[in-house]
Chain A
Amino acid sequence: MIHTEKELELIANQIREDIIYMLVEAGSGHTAGPLGMADVFTALYFEVLRHRPKEPNWPERDRVVLSNGHINPVLYATMAHAGYFPRSELKTLRKFGTRLQGHPERLRLPGLETTSGPLGSGISQAAGMAYGLRMDGQKQQRVWCLTSDGEHQEGNIWEAVMFAGKNRLSNLTVVVDRNNIQIDGMTEDIMPLEPFAMKYQAFNWHVIEVDGHNFDEVISAMEQSKAIFEKPTCIVAHTIPGKGVDFMEFDFRWHGIPPNSKDLPGDPPKQMQAKAALERLRTLNGKIRSEHE
């Protein structure tokens, strides 16, 4: 590992703080998913990915496809921390003229591999990239597709899962954010996805289930996926939506809104939410007293 686990935790926590700042500044956007995926993005961009942030079009780079475009605050914050663009630009999220559009647009921001928002199309594009790279005999480059559990209700996903299984796209790794929430409620109430891992196995994928907040497990699974031949890999990352902010955790009401936008019964009053969230992040939900206070 390039970083210690402690260093990665620190980076992920800074990314979470940036996510809160960005969302409050923007006044709209998604909170739970980005906070929940901060550890996975940190692991990918700071430990595993073959990339050059200062040379985003480096031909030999790995490709990252974000399928569920709405969690882009975590993508933008991670890219900024990795050096793709200045962190100061994060505050332009969702504003007129920004490169950080409400949903990611490839043509506006170097380093993005695609444009996404409408759900369910990422794995197909990633599979196309993986297939095309293999046609050219590229062995080093991998394609990483980050996707959510809820979007597995889209038919397009399963068309792509079938294709990648048939074609043994071993240079493709899909990471699924299994956080169990979607806008209208819990996935298993809205439209059940279980047995989730078995579905991928049935389509001839290699499946690894991990704790999406355990860096060792996440990085090991990503590394393992590079060593699996003859099959694409699906990493089911079990995550806590809203991770790091106790009053947001496991709460689907935080899927699609930013802090300070709405009073929610049981949570801090709306104007206090961002402040409370940042305090929770800085003190690991009250476990530590830091100089930030």
Chain B
Amino acid sequence: MNKTLNPDLFSDSLAYEPNRKGFGEGLLEAGKQDESIVALTADLVESTQVEPFAKNFPERFVEIGVAEQNMVTLASGLAAVGKKPFTTSYASFSPGRNWEQIRTTICLNDRNVKIVGCHSGVSVGPDGATHQMLEDIALMRVLPNMTVVVPCDSIEARKATLALAKTKSPGYLRLAREKTAIITTEETDFSIGKAAVFREGSDVSIIACGPLVHEALKAAEALSKEKIDAEVINCATIKPLDGPTILKTAQKTGLVITVEEAQAVGGLGGAVAEYLSENHPTRVVKVGSQDRFGQSGKIDELWHEYKLDTEYIVRLIKKAYRKTSR
């Protein structure tokens, strides 16, 4: 196990926090360091956690109202005159609704705008399918010039925000609504474009992103009791993908399971499968929504229903491992 991870990871005292909170802290910190950072929201000051920035820097905060297309195009204009805008909304609306504007006025136009999409995944819970964004990783990953980051917890979200504030090209930061496990610590390495080995293993590789990294780590623990030694990789940057780290683990284990709270096609699983099929053909089994939309419920109920929880990952790996081996 990576020694910098939260020592309470498997204890009852493990703390939980929404990763959007880490974004809010990171943006405030970035704003203190760099006066050109500005933030925009589409009527969601509190729930996107842009609030600390808005309160501390009211003159650098822009309330757009319920108009996500205007938010990103206006941000492109702000970037044109030297600002570094962060736009905030729910991922269903931004980048869900305003994809073309992001494509043309930010990516093709290469403007330094950071799109922050909160409330991704079915873990949004009671709000139901309309607000549970599952397609955003695919939508953003396919755009030239775009960087895509999916932090696993609030600490990593803070680091990712600070790192994105320093890049000069378009970026997408994907966040979740619910409290999720604090997996990492201040000491855990994070840099854009780098995947981190959270647990070393030799039989199977679990490549995960977002809050489900916790489920992946729990699954690896459970599998060790079944004499299956799983490697767990936190792939926080979906684009640019950390090819060398993925290649190394695939060469070592020969079986890759991807885990994400998104459509199983087009996202992290798609990126890993594309990379390995070209560089080191390996069996890739994708955990994610299987061509379905979400629905109302509690996080545990939904992760179970959509086959994203520890129990399912363990079952899947046992089956896939038997089939693949040896």
Q: Which residue numbers of A lie inside 8 Å of B, CB to CB?
A: 63, 65, 105-107, 113-118, 120-121, 124-133, 135-136, 155-156, 159-160, 162-163
15 CB < 8 A contacts A-B: A115-B104, A115-B109, A116-B105, A121-B69, A121-B73, A125-B76, A128-B74, A130-B77, A132-B78, A135-B59, A135-B83, A159-B64, A159-B70, A162-B65, A163-B64
Measured in the bound complex, the distance between the Cα atoms of B80 and A206 in whole Å is: 25
Contact A128 B64 (CB under 8 A): no
Measured in the bound complex, the distance between the Cα atoms of B82 and A159 in whole Å is: 23
Q: Known pairs A155-B69, A156-B101; list 15 more (Cβ under 8 Å).
A: A114-B77, A114-B105, A115-B104, A118-B101, A120-B69, A121-B104, A124-B69, A124-B101, A125-B74, A127-B74, A132-B77, A132-B80, A135-B59, A160-B70, A160-B74
Interface of A is mostly: helix
Contact B76 A114 (CB under 8 A): yes
Chain B residue contacts of A163, Cβ below 8 A:
64-65, 67, 70, 74
Task: Name B73's contact: one of A63, A124, A130 (CB within 8 Å).
Answer: A124
Contact B81 A129 (CB under 8 A): yes
Contact A159 B69 (CB under 8 A): yes
Measured in the bound complex, the distance between the Cα atoms of B83 and A106 in whole Å is: 18
Interface of B is mostly: helix
Within B56-87, which residues are at the interface with A (CB < 8 Å)?
Answer: 59-60, 62, 64-65, 67, 69-70, 73-83
Which residue of chain A lies nearest to B81 when distances are taken between CB atoms in the complex? A132
Within B82-109, which residues are at the interface with A (CB < 8 Å)?
Answer: 82-83, 100-101, 104-105, 108-109
Contact A114 B109 (CB under 8 A): yes
Measured in the bound complex, the distance between the Cα atoms of B80 and A65 in whole Å is: 11
Chain B residue contacts of A135, Cβ below 8 A:
38, 59-60, 83
A156-B77 CB under 8 A given contacts A107-B109, A115-B104 = no
**B110 interfacial by beta-carbon distance below 8 Å:** yes
Contact A131 B80 (CB under 8 A): no
Which residue of chain A lies nearest to B108 when distances are taken between CB atoms in the complex? A115
